[in-house]
Structure 1
């Protein structure tokens, strides 16, 4: 069986600047010092705004080759206190949504990434007043410096499950307060929209306050870290000629579950479906055996 196969996660930070080859952004420091060394089965690739052409190329190369790479775009609404930049914000979200469609997920936070950091303390639902106040709510000693993120990384890693729980509570509360204006709000509670329509963008920017989708992103990273090697073996099987249609359907469904970040992927019907072709003495059955061992061992 192949070993040490790593899931590749590409993250674009459209707001990030660069100093030489170093990306200068709090979100990047957060990933680097909280999860990068802990999630050992993931390779992170980061892109700043000047690197977007490379991100776009990687997305297209992955689509053409049907690789298992996954792609995320980190965006904040960054509303001004006067709220006179909302149309600009909406156009920015729409631009990335149309350009990447379902090939890269947009991780949106309203008002900014610091909302996610507040979730490590509790279910943060404070209405927006100012970015300065939001940063004070993160911590009295909060600093937008890499050293500060490095010093807090281990604690954040340890408290990740709590932050995920708090983020979901916060988003449910904020969405419920604005739900009357959007019939799709329940769907968007648990799943990031694959297509940010102008209607949904306006609702998420103008009507809903204090939420983030970072919890969903982190759940996906944990699932990819656990099952990344399995994704690679699945792709090998799907490229083989002669795989029965029902097996293809089952394995594609499994792959989609993993990419959605679902933690418990074992399915008795799937196991039986795969087990039924183990008696065949060919490359397909040998590849299925690899996949079954990986599923059962998890």
Structure 2
């Protein structure tokens, strides 16, 4: 039998274990022009929380009692498809199943010799693309400018900061523990790092860390932290909005500072984005990220949880900040 994880109910507030259901189904068999895949690594990401709501978004919501999907690295264990051979490793948006069949649509081969397989879910996968393209296309960085990143010790944020340093920026990261702020400075080369949980006045702390103001704010969290950063923006600042994890589990409308005066008086560009919007530049980004990785200019960290049954728990841990870098489940 094959193990599968489905969406049992839609979360209200933070996801709970009973929102997921473990079911079994007959072992799948590859048909003509299909491959049989064995799941090796599963990516859990904050954006999946939005797909658990029955609401309009940039992708359709997950359906109740159907398998959840995310980025997965899998091994081809049987192939009846001319484009794939037994033993190939592939990445794609796939179901939370231990085994599944695919027509090959949406699958990309990955090279286990070039990089660890899990890296294709992180630094040279969607995470890296999001960081690179969000910063370069919307942030439009110029050497000497100041970049602030919220959720800086997470998968995307830690890559954004390193790219910023490579491009000659002053980089300030915001994270939630002293261990994470130390990681940002010691491993990833950030100039400054702020622990928002032990800082009483974030607006003043950001001003102190950014004496020349903030030129680019890469926003991963929204909420009070973003309000404090926005108050420190320079004229013509750019704000790529990648996520708002602090708000994903709220059950009531949130009130905050009205941003229009800041946007208008300082001529600020604030733009939300989905990485697929820049698909035409994805290969360029992968090439550059891979080159930096080989040159040891780009480092990454992972929080790896083992076991298929631990996928929901790893996902829920994202909202408690229990990950450093990319959260991945190894099957």
Q: TM bucket by the smaller chain?
A: under 0.3
| Higher relative strand content | 2
Give the helix-richer structure, 1 or 2.
1
Say which structure, 1 or 2, has more relative contact order (CA 8 Å, 6+ apart): 1
TM-score normalised by structure 2 residue count: 0.21
TM-score by length of 1: 0.22
